[in-house]
Amino acid sequence: MITRAMVYCTQVCPYIAIDLGFFSREVLELGIVVHSVVIGLSLGGSNNTCTIKPLVAVLCFHQMFEGMGLGGCILQYKFFKKAMMVFFFSVTTPFGIALGIALSSVYKENSPSSLITVGLLNASSAGLLIYMALVDLLSADFMGPKLQGSIKLQIKAYIAVLLGAGGMLLMAKWALYINLI
């Protein structure tokens, strides 16, 4: 089976055809799992209803799109591995929420140690997810023969990426605006 990573590797260096698909799917799952636990921690550890309401709305959309993105990678596995990855994706956010609720009496959102911990976890998961998006997912799509053969399709793909990034920016600004009110 030819994966996106193999296509990309053979285009960058045609003499080497290494299947990096397994590693890339594992890194993507790791980034999403860490990110989901951090989201659950912030939702479960929050005592302010003005913070909880927008977080639940954002969490629903966020998890839906994250699940759709991860679903494409999960489909390439055999049944046991699929079931295990679906289980971890399904359990991590509720686990983070339960952990946040359990730690809410001890957890202080604005203490330096919790800010550093959440910052490090967010930075590591964001770095993993940005790496996966740029290096594995987008580059493989943009370097594919179908997109390379058509300037119109390339322009449409760039516009779609920019619209997606703009939509995420608007949702982030909305969530920030709701939190500040």
Tens of pLDDT, residue by residue over 118-156, are: 788 778 777 777 777 777 777 777 888 888 888 999 899
Tens of pLDDT, residue by residue over 73-119, are: 777 778 888 888 888 888 888 898 898 888 877 877 778 887 887 78
User: pTM here?
Assistant: 0.63
pLDDT band at 180 (very low <50, low <70, confident <90, very high): low
Q: 39 burial class (0-12, 13-18, 19+ CB within 10 angstroms)?
A: buried
Q: Are 40 and 99 in contact (CB under 8 A)?
A: yes
Dist. CA 50–CA 141, nearest whole Å: 40
> What CA–CA distances, in Å, run from 180 to 4, 50, 54, 172?
42, 9, 11, 12
